[in-house]
Amino acid sequence: MSLLDQLEQQARDRREREEQENLLAQEKGAFYRTYTGPAMRAIFEYLKKLSQHLEYLDHQQTVDYHIPHYGDVTAKVDPEFTVALSSEKGVRSEIKIVATGHIDRAKSPDITLNPQQVDVMDTFVRDYSLHGEKRVLKSPSGEVVGATFRIHGKILLQGVVRAAYSEEHIELEFVNYGGLMQHRRRADPRQIDDGFLDKLGKFLIGEDRSLFSETLPSGVKKQIRETIQKDQEAKRLEMLESEIADLEYEEEKSSTLSGRLSQRLSALSRKLKGEG
């Protein structure tokens, strides 16, 4: 095949690919305009009305959180929440939801942690944007031996609903609703109806969590199970590391005390023998 023939063949192949890509983009664009776009607008309008009604009625909601190495705390959630819709034409659209909870300081335990546990707690508080009072404890010699800790302040309950122009589904992700956890699922835009919106509203106010426990495709279930198993294993290892650190800390204290006692007894023995 001559050079010119090769170039003409490459040009034909390229035009065919471009035509196929354009056709696919048109099909997905039509799906977005027909189903996804209207579904996103319906969700946004519903959430705006929900927030307005909750604020007007001063709806009260409390959420209990279990914090590893600390205990249980309770947060009172503000009735209203912010809802914002952003979009990039031909690319994606996104709805963000943010509610604010206030941890009841009076119901938060005041605990004492050893140095290793303090490091774990500091990391956890930072990762989940929590707040707390920490008072460092020192020995008479000035050595840090631990700290007292009490969690309080704000905790953010956040959600995001995403739709990509190139996809035929809507993604939902919510954090800190019903506990320190993430809720995720995909939804078919063609199934965003009054029943779906009602379940979403009840999920946000803590009345019904079934929106994120409905039947999922087997592939998605497998992925979720693997993620949960990894999280459980990580938490198990973290607990083991904490227990090991506790034992090492107690052993170190015991060893130090034993050493001091031995030195004291030796000194007394020398005095009794008249060697001191």
- For residue 243, pLDDT over 70 is answered with no
Q: Note the pLDDT tens digit of each residue in 39-60.
A: 999 999 999 999 999 999 999 8
pLDDT bin (cut points 50, 70, 90) of residue 26 is low
DSSP string across the chain: --HHHHHHHHHHHHHHHHHHHHHHHHHHHHHIIIIIHHHHHHHHHHHHHHHHHHHHHT--EEEEEEETTTEEEEEEEPS--EEEEEEETTTEEEEEEEEEEEE-GGGS--EEE-HHHHHHHHHHHHHTT-EEEEEEEE-TTS-EEEEEEEEEEEEEEEEEEEEETT-SSEEEEEESSSSS-EEEEEE-GGG-SHHHHHHHHHHHTTS--GGGSS---HHHHHHHHHHHHHHHHHHHHHHHHHHHHHHHHHHHHHHHHHHHHHHHHHHHHHHHTT--
Residue 63 within a domain: yes
pLDDT bin (cut points 50, 70, 90) of residue 13 is confident
**Domain end point (choices 187, 214, 241):** 214
> Range of 210's domain?
38-214
Q: Note the pLDDT tens digit of each residue in 250-268.
A: 666 666 656 666 666 676 6
Residue 21 within a domain: no
Say whether both 110 and 231 belong to one domain: no
**Domain end point (choices 170, 192, 214):** 214
Top-confidence residue, 271 or 127:
127
Whole-structure pTM value: 0.64
Say whether both 103 and 174 belong to one domain: yes
What's the rounded mean pLDDT across residues 147-154? Answer: 87
Task: Identify the pLDDT of residue 235.
Answer: 67
Task: Identify the pLDDT of residue 22.
Answer: 62
Q: Note the pLDDT tens digit of each residue in 191-241.
A: 999 999 999 999 999 998 888 875 455 565 566 667 767 776 776 677 667
Residue 31 within a domain: no
Say whether both 196 and 235 belong to one domain: no
Task: Identify the pLDDT of residue 70.
Answer: 82
What's the rounded mean pLDDT across residues 60-84? Answer: 89
Count of domains in the chain? 2
Task: Identify the pLDDT of residue 110.
Answer: 86
